[in-house]
Structures are given as C-alpha cells and as structure tokens.
C-alpha cells in the first residue's frame, strides 16, 4: 500500500471508529446505513483514486469525452474517480487540482482549458508526488511536470480541413475564384483552437485567392457560435465558407444563416466546415446543412485506463499519445458510417 492509500486508509479507519462510537451512543442510529457506508469506504480504500479536472460541458464532444472517462475509471475496473467540472474556467481547474492534492489522490487527470498558466499548480502536484496525465488539450509546461498526454493532432485536423476545401473547390471548377472565409474559433489559447487555426492557416497561405475576412472567438459553444455568426452576417454579405472550430459552433452558425434567410451546406450558398464529427453533426450533414466534419476522437477512457494500469505495474508509457482520426462529408454513406460510431 503506498503512502497516499495508507493515509486514506487512516482517514477511513477514523471514520469507522466514529461510526461505531455513534452506534453506542445513539439508539436511533441505522445499522444498515452504517454497514453500507463502512463497506463503501473500505472498498474505496483499495481503489486507485483519480482526480479528473474536466474543462466543462460546453459541447457534445465534451459530453462524450466525460462519458468515456467516467465509464472506464469505474470501481469495477479498480478506480475511485473524483470528477470536477471546471465550467470553462481555469481558476476552477486550479482549485480542483489543489483539492486533489489535499485528498492525496493517486493520479490527477487534467484537460487544460488553455495551454498557458499551469507551471505553479503542476509543480505543486509534482512536489506532492502525484503523477499528472494530460488529456485532450496540452499545457505549455516543462516535460517533467506531467507523465504523458493523450489527445488529437489538432494541427493535422486543421490542415485536413484546408485540403478538403482545396479539393472541393477544384471539383466545382472554383479553384481560381475569390473565396471569402470566416472562422469561428474555439476558446482562445486552447490547444484545439491553436492547432486548428494553424493547420488551416497553412493551407490558406498557399492560396492567394482565399481571403480570411475575420476570425472570431465563439468559445466552442452553440450559443456563441450563433451570436458571432449573426454579427458576421451583418458585417459581410459575401461569405463563401465558414470554418467552425467545433460542431456545436457550426450548429449555431447554421441557425444564424437560416434565420437571416441564407442557405448553407452542399446545396446552399455558404460551405460549412466543422470539427469533431459528433452524432449531431452526422444529422446536420444528412440534412444538407454542413458540408464536412473533421473528426476529433473523444474516447480517451480506455487509453487512460490502460496507461494507469501500466504505471501501476511499474511500466513506462509514451509521453505523447495521439488518437486515430478521420473525416466525414456529404459524399459519403453517412447513414452506414454512423452505425459503428459511439458518439
């Protein structure tokens, strides 16, 4: 039993003593509840305690990511998971990490909302001897402050979207036309925003006739996506392409375009490229509202479980671990493809 679990064991024994003392003093104590509580605390004592600081619940992708991790790190699989939703605020993640340190968890799993500002709190975790596993987004910190990272190659996703647009315009004989583009960006300074903006930007730079009219932060949410798109439509009447850095913002953009009397998707005036490829994006592609969605795989749970298992048995793990990803567009058999998808 390591130090952390021993300490938790002490706290548990103390709790049990209190329960027993309580049983003697109060005739009204319900023995069944106490026994159940005792069973649960004793069970927890033998589980691997993991504190998970999640970004929030801003998108369908995030919900699928939370679900994947929660359903992998279960008591049946040997884990005691403490889940904290940061509601898209970095200071909430700082608080959660400091609480995990006080609780002496065995591992901290962190999905950093933005890349910068983590040095102090991750140094505190290191000083407490708690390994930190980063999931989804990266943190710009020295490598010794985290054990490993699992996530998507956001830059490749962005490039894939740019190359898709290149091919699409060529297929339509529009490769020399002036193409006006707007981008709905995800939370600024998040890895997903930085990578997708950079990757798409590299392809954009190869086309003098592609004009980026504006890039605006819409925080990865549907409501902000709609609000920002409404204001872009008021400002520009000649938008050809919307690059939305996630599906939920794209859904908001579709609503804004349709409410303004415009049309989008393969048969409409505005081409919509999106990222994530969640189930609702399949609906939107099948309804002819968005053209393509570039996958970002949220199913980190099984990989996380495997990594912790390896570390527990004294093994080493790769520092950087990418998820496999592809893309989907309206030329594909989406009905068939979605059957095998979990999110």
Bridge partner residues of 274 (DSSP): 293
Least distance CB 49 / ligand AHR (angstroms) = 25
Q: Helical H runs in the chain?
A: 3-25, 31-45, 60-72, 90-102, 119-127, 154-171, 191-204, 222-235, 247-259, 279-286, 301-312, 334-337
State which residue, 101 or 242, has the beta carbon closest to ligand AHR: 242
Question: Please, which of residues 124-183 interact with ligand AHR by CB under 6 A?
Answer: 136-137
Question: Please, which of residues 30-69 interact with ligand AHR by CB under 6 A?
Answer: 58-59, 61-62
DSSP state of 264: B
State which residue, 45 or 157, has the beta carbon closest to ligand AHR: 157
Q: Hey, what's the torsion of the CAs at 205, 210, 216, 217, to 10 degrees?
A: -50
State which residue, 51 or 186, has the beta carbon closest to ligand AHR: 186
Site string for ligand AHR, 213-252 (x = CB under 6 A): -------x-------------------------x------
List of residues 6+ apart from 171 with CB closer than 8 A = none
Least distance CB 65 / ligand AHR (angstroms) = 8
Q: Alpha-carbon distance 255 to 237, whole Å?
A: 16
| CA 330 centroid distance within chain | 25
Do 275 and 157 contact (CB within 8 A), yes or no? Answer: yes
Least distance CB 226 / ligand AHR (angstroms) = 15
Least distance CB 46 / ligand AHR (angstroms) = 33
Residue from the set 107, 118, 200, 275 that interacts with ligand AHR by CB under 6 A = 275
Residue from the set 4, 110, 148, 192 that interacts with ligand AHR by CB under 6 A = 192
Tell me, by CB under 6 A, how many residues bind ligand AHR.
12
Nearest of 277, 231, 279 to residue 252 by alpha carbon? 231
Determine if 303 is a binding residue for ligand AHR (CB under 6 A).
no
Residue from the set 296, 299, 307, 308 that interacts with ligand AHR by CB under 6 A = 296
State which residue, 175 or 283, has the beta carbon closest to ligand AHR: 283
Pairing of strands 241-244, 271-276: parallel
First CA to last CA across the chain, in angstroms?
Answer: 38
Residues that bind ligand AHR (CB under 6 A): 58-59, 61-62, 136-137, 192, 220, 246, 275-276, 296
């Amino acid at each position: 039993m390591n130090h952390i679990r021993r300490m938790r064991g002490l706290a548990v024994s103390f709790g049990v003593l209190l329960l027993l003392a309580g049983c003697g003093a109060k005739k009204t104590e319900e023995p069944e509840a106490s026994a159940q509580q005792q069973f649960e605390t004793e069970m927890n004592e033998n589980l691997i305690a993991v504190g998970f600081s999640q970004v929030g619940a801003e998108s369908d992708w995030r919900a699928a990511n939370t679900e994947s991790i929660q359903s992998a790190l279960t008591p049946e699989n040997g884990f005691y998971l403490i889940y904290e939703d940061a509601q898209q605020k970095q200071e909430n993640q700082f608080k959660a990490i400091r609480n995990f340190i006080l609780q002496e968890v065995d591992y901290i799993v962190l999905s950093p909302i933005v890349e910068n500002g983590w040095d102090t709190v991750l140094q505190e975790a290191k000083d407490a001897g708690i390994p930190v596993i980063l999931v989804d987004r990266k943190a710009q910190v020295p490598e010794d402050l985290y054990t490993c990272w699992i996530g998507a190659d956001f830059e490749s996703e962005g490039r894939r979207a740019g190359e898709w647009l290149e091919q699409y315009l060529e297929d339509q004989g529009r490769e020399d036309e002036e193409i006006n583009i707007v981008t709905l960006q995800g939370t600024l300074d998040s890895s997903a925003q930085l990578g997708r903006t950079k990757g798409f930007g590299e392809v954009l730079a190869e086309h003098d006739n592609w004009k980026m009219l504006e890039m605006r932060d819409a925080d990865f949410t549907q409501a902000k996506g709609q609000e920002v798109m409404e204001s872009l439509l008021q400002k520009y009447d000649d938008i050809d392409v919307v690059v939305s850095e996630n599906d939920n913002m794209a859904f908001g953009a579709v609503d804004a375009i349709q409410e303004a009397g415009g049309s989008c998707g393969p048969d409409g005036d505005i081409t919509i490229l999106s990222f994530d490829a969640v189930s609702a994006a399949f609906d939107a592609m099948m309804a002819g509202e968005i053209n393509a969605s570039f996958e970002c795989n949220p199913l980190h749970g099984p990989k996380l479980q495997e990594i912790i298992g390896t570390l527990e048995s004294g093994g080493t793990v790769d520092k950087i671990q990418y998820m496999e990803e592809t893309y989907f567009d309206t030329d594909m058999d989406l009905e068939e493809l979605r059957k095998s998808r979990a999110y």
